Amino acid sequence: MPIDIQAVKQRFGIIGNDPKLNRAIARAVRVAPTDITVLVSGESGTGKETIPKIIHQFSHRKHGPYFAINCGAIPEGTIDSELFGHEKGSFTGATTTRKGYFEVANGGTLFLDEVGELPLTTQVRLLRVLENGEFIKVGSSKVEKTDVRIVAATNKDLRKLVEEGKFREDLYYRLNTVEIPLPPLRERGDDIILLFRKFASDFAYKYNRPPVRLTPEAQQILKQYHWPGNIRELRNVVEQISVLEETREITPDILTKYIPLYRQNLPGIIAGEKANFDFGKDRELIFKLLFEMKKEIDRLKNKIARLNAHTEIIPLPTPRTESHMPVSETLYPASERVHKTLHVEEPVYTLVQDDEEPEKKEESLSLVETEKELIKKALKKHNGRRKPAAKELGISERTLYRKIKQYDLQ
């Protein structure tokens, strides 16, 4: 039976049409009828908590209990008690017997968020539950059984944690029976605009104000931003704009007050991640700049060659006796001929150059400066009109707009 992705998204309030997002939802629906352990991966703020809800609601456990536990928010000293329960008197403060999540969630689904934060001792207990459904309460020796579906989530690289000895390898493979990755917001393209509109509508209703709307230029900036905080960060930005701005039309100047634009598209490597650069958008401009740099280098080479061609090494004769003698007139051009005296005791060699002095100011070979100059010339030629200037440079108008903002060429 085909999966109606749109119906699932409407049911769970998911906004977006990105193919990677749709694949994640489809995979969650497909594994839901089974009891396979699922690992949801993705950066913080990508909405990982929605996938376990989909799995639970499309499973035969949908009428059973559902619990979501943030493993990183529970202190290490009490997490075993929270998950597996404890007996009365098992530790200081244990005045009564307490049931853990694995006991009360029997027959249902348990969502372990930030599973990479679990202590190693707790990981051993969790592995036993996953393998045979058995657990022991803290302070007890009685083995108890539970029937719980586990869905785990993490924003960390569990493989790296395994290599560092911070996560058990056997538990990693037990949790990662099926992995469902969620894409970061920066890779979802037009979904960013859809989410902005949704949040703008929500905050307009909440604060009883007209919804904010983006100009086309502001939309481009929104899609080019890196969004390290993903959907959570976008929601915060929309709320700030909705509350603080009087105008309802959001231009690039307004938007950049709430987004650190200097961080966009800066190439760099995040610790533990591979570099992922994409210069496709600026390829034409980069090629043009490299061509201009090559011409500058060729001109510099020709100038050096001319200087070498007009350079001679002329020996000065050594006098028999110490004397002061004028330098030969052949050492200087007629226009600059002067009489100088040298006290000569050893053979002296001097360089003679033509009257063309090398330029005192070296031409800049900086890629950034060359790029700025090209953009300035194109804008001046077209009287500040960006569209024909972008066509002249061989780049998109959007890229030109970003470069103007970057180099403050307004």
Q: Give the range among 105-109, 246-250, 306-310 with minimum mean pLDDT.
A: 306-310
Q: Give the range among 111-120, 211-220, 341-350 with minimum mean pLDDT.
A: 341-350
The two most distant CA atoms of the chain are separated, in Å, by: 116
What is the pLDDT averaged over residues 262-289?
Answer: 50
pLDDT over threshold 90, residue 126: yes
Q: Comparing C-alpha atoms, which of 270, 269, 21, 44 is closest to residue 155?
A: 44
Question: Between 66 and 291, whose confidence is greater?
Answer: 66
pLDDT score recorded for residue 95: 82
Q: Which domains, from first to last, does the chain contain?
A: 5-183 (3.40.50.300), 186-263 (1.10.8.60), 280-287+363-407 (1.10.10)
The pLDDT tens digits for 49-60 are 999 999 999 999
Q: Is the dihedral of CA 10, 12, 13, 14 positive or negative?
A: negative
Q: Give the range among 72-81, 122-131, 349-358 with minimum mean pLDDT.
A: 349-358
Q: Judging by DSSP bridges, how do beta strands 149-154 and 143-145 pair with one another?
A: unpaired
DSSP string covering 177-218, please? TEEEE---GGGSTTHHHHHHHHHHHHHHHHHTSPPPEE-HHH
d(CA 398, CA 390): 9
d(CA 264, CA 234): 15
pLDDT over threshold 60, residue 109: yes
pLDDT score recorded for residue 248: 92
Spell out the residues 6+ positions from residue 11 whose beta carbon is closer than 8 angstroms to its own. 57
pLDDT above 90 as % of the chain = 54
pLDDT score recorded for residue 124: 93
The pLDDT tens digits for 209-244 are 999 999 999 999 999 899 999 999 999 999 999 999
Average pLDDT of the chain? Answer: 81
| Helices assigned H by DSSP within 245-363 | 252-255, 283-309
Helix axes 386-393, 397-407, angle to 10 degrees: 100
Q: Give the range among 21-35, 146-160, 391-405 with minimum mean pLDDT.
A: 391-405
Spell out the residues 6+ positions from residue 173 whose beta carbon is closer than 8 angstroms to its own. none
pLDDT score recorded for residue 350: 43
pLDDT score recorded for residue 283: 56
DSSP string covering 68-98, please? EEEGGGS-TTTHHHHHH-B-TTSSTT--S-B
Q: Fill in the amino acid letter for 33.
A: P
d(CA 53, CA 50): 5
Question: Between 54 and 3, whose confidence is greater?
Answer: 54
CA end-to-end span of the chain: 57
pLDDT score recorded for residue 353: 45
pLDDT score recorded for residue 317: 53
The pLDDT tens digits for 78-91 are 899 999 998 888 88
Q: Give the range among 23-27, 85-89, 145-149, 173-177 with minimum mean pLDDT.
A: 85-89
Q: Comparing C-alpha atoms, which of 353, 324, 323 is closest to residue 339?
A: 324
pLDDT score recorded for residue 330: 44
- Unique residue bearing structure tokens 């307009």: 204
Q: Fill in the amino acid letter for 141.
A: S
Helix axes 19-31, 5-12, angle to 10 degrees: 90
pLDDT score recorded for residue 32: 95
Backbone angles phi, psi at 358, to 5 degrees: -65, 150
- pTM attached to this predicted model: 0.63
d(CA 352, CA 360): 19
